[in-house]
Amino acid sequence: MNATHPMPSVIDLRAEPGQIRCFDPATREPLGLVPVDDPEQVRQAIARAREAQIGWGETSFALRRRVLRRVADSILDRVDDLVELIVRDSGKTRENALMGEIWTVLEKLRWTIANGPRHLRPERVSSGLLMHKRARLEYHPLGVIGAIIPWNYPLQNIMNPLIPALMAGNGFVVKPSEWVAWSARPFVQLVRDALAAEGQSPELVQVVQGYGETGQALIEGGVDSLVFIGSVVNGRRVLEAAAKTITPVILELGGKDPFIVCDDADLPQAAHAALAGCFISAGQNCVAAERLLVLDAVYDDFERMVGQLVAGFRQGDPRGPEPVDVGAMVTPMQLDIVERLVSRAVEQGARVVAGGKRVLGERGDFFAPTVLADVTPEMEIMREETFGPVMLLCRVRDEHHAVEVANSTGYGLSSSVFSRDRDRARRIAARLQAGMTAINEFGGMTYMAQDLTFGGVKESGFGRINGREGLRACCNVKAVLDDRLPVGFANKLFPVARGDFERIKGAVRLVYGHGLRRRIAGVGDLLRALKDGER
Ligand code: NAD
């Protein structure tokens, strides 16, 4: 449990020792108990994945692609069941489950099946001065990759690191968040079934359940690499634990993404992108548009536009008879955080344009879709991740001021810029300290272009999980120097002879000397050294 978070006020996950009490956040209905794995069970899960990986690491790309294709097929065949699992465990809307989880996972599968082999085949590179040699990079599996993941995307968070891990020939052990433990096993089972159907051991993919202790056990249990997706606070703890075993880590942490609306932006386009940025998954999105920086000249119009749109939003149980725009908060802790940040901002002078409070408390954990205006960069809500259905409108003087405010937090995950002037938008984009920037689009959409990488800078973490870099992050990128010619040359460095020093100096000046004069001097050194050697 995160030290900065209070215990949930309504449901105590840990009420049954050794179990996780799972519940539907939109109704508080119990979903069942999930047993917690102790450190020994975590070690055994890693061992099972490791044994299965020995064979898997030798399989062809064609076979790996067939397995991933089966996963895609079974997701498509079971869309309604999977959406139901996601919605019950997270309280998000059915549409969000479909677009933010099913669609994104299918796109990652499609991209990986189509492009994986191309990025993972051995790659010839220059051998530099070693003309008698060939050089290449080989992409070998690391072994077993562990993943510790959060609660905001129950399906997508599992598949996101799993797909590249498997394509690159690794085993995989995932520790889902305790808040969405209920749906994790059936999601992982999809992949295990696909492996078995292709004659491979389903043990290659494991799920271990529990709290922070289980996450620590996964790191200490000897995985070969770890992907941590979660908060900055726990990212630090993960780094500390990984330091003990020198386990390489990719950290995908929080964000406070800026969304800049210039005075020449297409306002309706920007407004709808802002709605997506702030209210997809009730804002519980690492790449949510957390700070809208709107230029003074269009601020009032923009506020009116988004205010009217959000005032018409419907909220409630996503499984009810009518569609809703915004569902529940996944965790009561996050609801407490959002409530605290919003009420402090209002105390400090922010103006509530829509929402602003907890609602439907008798049914579940809901926060009303909220628009706060007159928010200033000094407010706590402009620095701390809100991770809720809250749009913050901050007035900025001009594009320079927008960039200054955008870069003023500790985070650097994604970002968005809206302007009709492409050069201006690109100029602003280039100055944003972020791992991703979208121009005239909500920044989270970069995920849908899987050739692009995904990851942050500053406190948003390091390492990349999408695209070529994401696939290769699952590999031991091995540098191989091989023979070019059937005959070899003995590289005789020992015993050191008189004149060797001068000869090497001459060679260095000849090769690296800038300009003809220096090179000629190098040749002179070499000739002198050779002559001395003959005496
Ligand atoms: P969290 O840090 O509380 O938990 C994440 C995971 O870490 C959970 O599985 C949890 O059980 C585990 N954990 C907790 N303490 C641990 C410890 N000491 N050692 C090892 N594991 C531990 O995060 P959360 O509240 O579940 O998720 C919300 C956070 O995740 C937000 O900050 C959000 O921005 C971030 N996030 C980032 C990305 C990204 O790609 N950058 C994606 C989604 C969410």
* Ligand 1 pocket check for 174: Cβ under 6 Å: no
Q: Is the pLDDT of residue 88 over 50?
A: yes
Please tell me the predicted confidence (pLDDT) of residue 28.
Answer: 94
Q: What is the CATH number for 125?
A: 3.40.605.10
DSSP-assigned states of every residue in 171-186: EEEEE--GGGHHHHHH
Burial class of residue 119 in the structure, from the number of CB atoms within 10 Å of its CB (0-12 exposed, 13-18 middle, 19+ buried):
buried
447 lies in some domain: yes
- How many Å apart are CA 353 and CA 342, to the nearest integer? 12
Asked whether residue 231 falls in the same domain as residue 263, the answer is no
* Ligand 1 pocket check for 281: Cβ under 6 Å: no
Q: Is the pLDDT of residue 281 over 70?
A: yes
Burial readout 363-372 (b: 16 or more C-beta within 10 A, e: otherwise): ebbbbbbbbb
Please tell me the predicted confidence (pLDDT) of residue 534.
Answer: 64
- How many Å apart are CA 485 and CA 525, to the nearest integer? 30
Asked whether residue 185 falls in the same domain as residue 242, the answer is yes
Asked whether residue 136 falls in the same domain as residue 200, the answer is yes
Q: Is the pLDDT of residue 9 over 60?
A: no
Confidence bin at 532 (pLDDT 50/70/90): confident
Q: Quote the pTM value.
A: 0.96
Candidate list 286, 394, 474, 475, residue with the active-site label? 286
Looking at the chain, how many residues does it have? 535
Q: What is the CATH number for 358?
A: 3.40.309.10
Q: Is the pLDDT of residue 1 over 90?
A: no
Asked whether residue 59 falls in the same domain as residue 109, the answer is yes
148 lies in some domain: yes
Q: What does each C-alpha distance from 233 to 13, 228, 421, 463 come to in angstroms?
A: 21, 12, 39, 17
Is 286 known to be catalytic? yes
* Ligand 1 pocket check for 180: Cβ under 6 Å: no
Q: What is the tally of structural domains in the chain? A: 3
Asked whether residue 120 falls in the same domain as residue 212, the answer is yes
- Out of 329-333, 336-340, 493-497, pick the least confident: 493-497
Q: Is 485 helix (H, G, I), strand (E, B) or coil?
A: coil
Is 475 known to be catalytic? no
Distance from the CA of 153 to the center of ligand 1, in angstroms? 11
Mean pLDDT of 54-81: 98
Cα dihedral angle (402, 407, 408, 413), rounded to 10 degrees?
Answer: 120
Candidate list 252, 384, 385, 399, residue with the active-site label? 252
DSSP-assigned states of every residue in 188-248: HHHHHHHHHHTT--GGGEEE---SHHHHHHHHHTT-SEEEEES-HHHHHHHHHHHHHHT--
14 lies in some domain: no
460 lies in some domain: no
Confidence bin at 491 (pLDDT 50/70/90): confident
Locus of tokens 């996950």: 13
Distance from the CA of 173 to the center of ligand 1, in angstroms? 16
Confidence bin at 522 (pLDDT 50/70/90): confident
32 lies in some domain: no
6 lies in some domain: no
Burial readout 257-291 (b: 16 or more C-beta within 10 A, e: otherwise): bbbbbbeebebeebbebbbbbbbbbbbbbbbbbbb
293 lies in some domain: yes
Confidence bin at 535 (pLDDT 50/70/90): low
Asked whether residue 215 falls in the same domain as residue 321, the answer is no
DSSP H helices in 348-497: 399-406, 422-431, 467-472
Q: Is the pLDDT of residue 11 over 80?
A: no
Please tell me the predicted confidence (pLDDT) of residue 241.
Answer: 97
Asked whether residue 214 falls in the same domain as residue 292, the answer is no
Beta strand 390-396 with 289-295 is parallel
Mean pLDDT of 254-283: 98
Asked whether residue 248 falls in the same domain as residue 393, the answer is no
Asked whether residue 246 falls in the same domain as residue 265, the answer is no
* Ligand 1 pocket check for 152: Cβ under 6 Å: yes
Burial class of residue 355 in the structure, from the number of CB atoms within 10 Å of its CB (0-12 exposed, 13-18 middle, 19+ buried):
buried
- How many Å apart are CA 107 and CA 288, to the nearest integer? 20
Residue span of the structural domain in which 499 resides:
492-534
Asked whether residue 209 falls in the same domain as residue 303, the answer is no
Confidence bin at 6 (pLDDT 50/70/90): very low
* Ligand 1 pocket check for 345: Cβ under 6 Å: no
Asked whether residue 423 falls in the same domain as residue 508, the answer is no
- How many Å apart are CA 356 and CA 348, to the nearest integer? 14
- pLDDT for 95-127, tens place per residue? 999 999 999 999 999 999 999 999 999 999 999
414 lies in some domain: yes
Please tell me the predicted confidence (pLDDT) of residue 425.
Answer: 98
- How many Å apart are CA 165 and CA 474, to the nearest integer? 6
Distance from the CA of 240 to the center of ligand 1, in angstroms? 15
Asked whether residue 189 falls in the same domain as residue 325, the answer is no
Q: Is the pLDDT of residue 503 over 70?
A: yes
State which of 234, 257, 414, 447 you would mutate to test the pocket of ligand 1, scoring each by most atoms of that ligand within 8 A of its C-beta.
Answer: 234
Confidence bin at 5 (pLDDT 50/70/90): very low
- pLDDT for 390-448, tens place per residue? 999 999 999 999 999 999 999 999 999 999 999 999 999 999 999 999 999 999 999 99
Instruction: Tokens for 416, please give them.
Output: 């968005």
Instruction: Tokens for 504, please give them.
Output: 């090497």
Residue nearest to atom 23 of ligand 1 (CA): 230
Distance from the CA of 331 to the center of ligand 1, in angstroms? 13
Instruction: Tokens for 453, please give them.
Output: 């990488």
Please tell me the predicted confidence (pLDDT) of residue 3.
Answer: 40
H or E segment at 157? helix 156-167
- pLDDT for 142-168, tens place per residue? 999 999 999 999 999 999 999 999 999
Average pLDDT of the chain to the nearest whole number: 95
Distance from the CA of 216 to the center of ligand 1, in angstroms? 13
- pLDDT for 359-385, tens place per residue? 999 999 999 999 999 999 999 999 999
CB atoms within 10 A of CB 464: 20
Pick from 250, 146, 251, 247: nearest CA to 205: 146
Helix, strand, coil share (%) of the chain residues, nearest 5: 45, 20, 35
Please tell me the predicted confidence (pLDDT) of residue 307.
Answer: 98
Mean pLDDT of 292-319: 97
Q: Is the pLDDT of residue 56 over 60?
A: yes
